[in-house]
Chains A and B, each alone.
Chain A
Amino acid sequence: MKPFFQMSHVTKRFGGLEAVSDFSIALERSELVGLIGPNGAGKTTTFNMMTGMLRPTEGDITWKGENITRLPAHLITARGIARTFQNVKLFNDMSVIENIMVSCHYSINSSFLAAMLGLPGHRKEEQRIREHSLKCLEEAGLARLAFERAQNLPYGLQRKLEIVRAIATEPGLLLLDEPAAGMNPTEKIELSAFIRRIREKSGITILLIEHDMNFVMNICERIRVMNYGRSIAEGTPGEIRTNPEVISAYLGGAPHAQD
């Protein structure tokens, strides 16, 4: 059986620097996988390649049997891979619901002329998008903030809104880049419950980058470890915790990537 999502032998070079080298990963339907590694290991670069923000120098990425390596970002989103960003990237000067409504833009069928003339077909579509967005907000418990400006939300809610915005594109694979960064312990507990709930309800695959080890060990079924652009280990949380190579990567033991 073909894997749901596969990245095979992907390399990314920035000039002389090899940010990601020969990295492969396969994800199955409704898995929850963690991607960890010290700073600068190439995790975010990997995400950027998966979502079309960067083009790999070598290697292929396939999604549901289709090669998406060279597709631009917006088409990859339309095919069902959504992401959040390491530093919150909301549309600050727009309301919460407008932030979500942008995620439905790729699915809009009526032309700009219909929008400019206010034709009934377009109005119906606007209505559908509005209802879908409100439903997404309700499920996340953000409906009462729908008309608040995004930049006025507290940090934890901004992070949450970013996840909701990604889910509103109705993805099959969700990539979360450090979703718990900067959150306090209570917010982290809420977040992990929220992520679990999303997965149980919609059955989507989630791949997340995170530095908080408790958070990752707690939530993920499988963990992949990167260092210096290479994959150094994979396994269940228990295996990763005791893997000597991972420990040395984090604590700076014997350097392993120099050869």
Chain B
Amino acid sequence: MSDKLKSGLNVALLFLLFGVLFLFNRYGTGYQLRILNNIAIFITLAVSYNLINGVCGLLHLGPNGFIAIGAYTSALLSMTPAEKELNFILGQVIWPLGVIQVPFAVSLMAAGIAAAFFAFLISFPVLRVRGDYLAIVTLGFGEVIRVLCNAAERVTNGPLGLKGLHPYTNLWWSWGVATVAVIVIQRLIASNYGLALKAIREDEAAARAMGVNPFRRLMLAFLISAFFSGIAGGLLAHLITTISPSLFSFILTFNLLIMIVVGGLGSTTGAVMGAVLFSWGGEALRIVEQPMDFGPFTIPGIPGMRMVIFSLILMMVILFSRKGIMGRSELSWDYLESKLIARKAR
């Protein structure tokens, strides 16, 4: 398949995506819009998380910290001084935050940069270790951020959280960011930089002997991942309009981990699929919680039933394709073409 045809198909796909979004934006219900926004935010999060866990092969367990930093940064910057005064009832917010307000776009950028800066600081201790140790260190940093959010009352308003944010996040913002994140991160993975990251994952000693500096390359991936996680955190804050430290617990990391493992560790399109399956699937299964009428007998609605079925589906996916839906391959045009040809030949 020629490169020209492929890029043509990509553009067509983007047009299709944004056409569908346009229709939903005009005719969709609030519930549908909410799910679509959620999907886009989780696509951004899963794809950037996959860059560390799948491509670099580091078991990083602290993305909730990056998301929290992004959410708080953008929320504090986008609120008006009057809103901040209303929110902070325990004590005044510290000086510069109390008076400044910036446009939403600027606050998102700041969220990304703040998360990346934090990633830069922790990368020195984190990237000195590998494997289980790295998992524990990053898990610790994620928790530290949550605890700090609880404790720093004059910055984050402590456990009360921040309420009444403007619902700036709409389909264009969330899907725009998701599209940029997917394209940019996939380009990086497909480039020579991505090869260097995969080489470190496969054999770090050999990668060093081939002239790759593992520390600098892993830090690069870490910063990019944190940057997009931070932006997604900002979008999340302005979607649910209320944030508190409990939102950014380890469960968030855990959900992301499920998404990328189900999608296929190391596959960007897999991460996208995992995110869609996870954030839409949970909602789509709400029908099983309603009372069902099968003629002679009736099943009463059982609350929590959808989570049982949902976990069964996840288990099935892992049982039947142990490396996730996509494994490490990408759902590219070439991949589709090769599958089609294989089917025809049969």
Contact = CB atoms under 8 A, between A and B. Distances in A.
Contacts of A101: 192, 195
Given A91-B202, A94-B202, A117-B184, A122 B211 contact: no
B209 A112 contact: no
Contacts of B187: 115-118
Contact of B206 (A89, A106, A122): A89
Contact of A102 (B188, B205, B212, B224): B212
A41 B218 CA distance: 35
By size class, the interface of chain B is: 20 to 34
For the residues of A in contact with B, the DSSP-based class is helix
Interface in B199-216: 199, 202-203, 205-213
A114 B224 CA distance: 14
A166 B37 CA distance: 48
A102 B220 contact: no
B34 interface: no
B298 interface: no
Residue from B192, B196, B198 whose CB has the most chain A CB atoms within 10 Å: B192
A108 B213 contact: no
A3 interface: no
A66 to B, nearest CB: 17
Contacts of A98: 195, 198
Pairs A-B, 3 closest by C-beta atoms: A106-B211, A77-B211, A115-B191
Nearest to B211: A106
A93 B327 CA distance: 12
B206 A85 contact: yes
A105 interface: yes
By size class, the interface of chain A is: 35 or more
B328 interface: yes
Interface string A20-54: 00000000000000000000000000000001010
Contact of A104 (B192, B198, B202): B192
24 contacts: A51-B209, A53-B205, A53-B209, A73-B208, A78-B211, A83-B209, A85-B205, A85-B206, A89-B206, A90-B203, A91-B198, A93-B198, A93-B202, A102-B195, A102-B196, A102-B207, A105-B199, A105-B210, A115-B193, A117-B187, A118-B187, A125-B192, A166-B209, A166-B210
A106 B192 CA distance: 10
Contacts of A51: 209
Given A78-B211, A115-B187, A108 B192 contact: yes
Residue from A78, A115, A122 whose CB has the most chain B CB atoms within 10 Å: A115
B338 to A, nearest CB: 12
A243 interface: no
Contacts of B193: 105, 108, 112, 115
Interface in A43-102: 51, 53, 72-74, 77-78, 82-83, 85, 89-94, 98, 101-102
A71 to B, nearest CB: 12
Residue from B185, B213, B220 whose CB has the most chain A CB atoms within 10 Å: B213
Nearest to B196: A105
B199 A94 contact: yes
Residue from B208, B211, B220 whose CB has the most chain A CB atoms within 10 Å: B211
A103 interface: yes
Contacts of A106: 210-212
A126 B187 CA distance: 12
Interface in B105-157: none
A129 interface: yes
B292 to A, nearest CB: 46
Contacts of B208: 53, 72-74, 77
B202 A74 contact: no
Contacts of A73: 208-209
B113 to A, nearest CB: 15
A126 B212 contact: no
Interface string A126-141: 1001000000000000
Contacts of B212: 74, 102, 105-106
Contact of B205 (A89, A104, A125): A89
B213 A74 contact: yes
Contacts of B195: 94, 98, 101-102, 105
